Amino acid sequence: MAAKKGGRKKRGGRKYGKAAGKRVESAMRRRKKGTLKSGRGGKGGKVKSRKQAIAIGLSEARKKGAKVPRKKGGRKGGKKSSRKKGGRKRSR
């Protein structure tokens, strides 16, 4: 039997870099101060939600190239048309 190598147990889950944490921290501070805005170029309203502040911080970190896991779901362009798959038209 092969002997196990010593060392730490590998943990699963998402990993974030230090730079990403700093960005989120900064976004949280700006939210508390009341200067964090949503939307393109900060033209939207004030951010009040904690979750939204975290999302903005992570988004900023992604843009700067920090180590942030990819977004899990959500695709660009909205919903696809609700067309039935597989069916073909029958000609008479």
In contact, 54 and 24? CB cutoff 8 Å:
yes
In a domain, 77, yes or no: no
In a domain, 91, yes or no: no
pLDDT recorded at residue 65: 92
What is the number of structural domains in the chain? 1
Per-residue pLDDT of 59-78, as tens digits, reads 999 999 999 988 777 666 65
Q: What is the pTM assigned to this prediction?
A: 0.61
Per-residue pLDDT of 22-67, as tens digits, reads 999 999 999 999 999 998 888 889 999 999 999 999 999 999 999 9
In a domain, 1, yes or no: no
Exposure string of 20-56, with b = 16+ CB inside 10 Å and e = fewer, is: beebbebbbebbeeeebebeeeeeeeebeeeeebebb
In a domain, 24, yes or no: yes
Supply the range of the domain harboring residue 52: 18-64
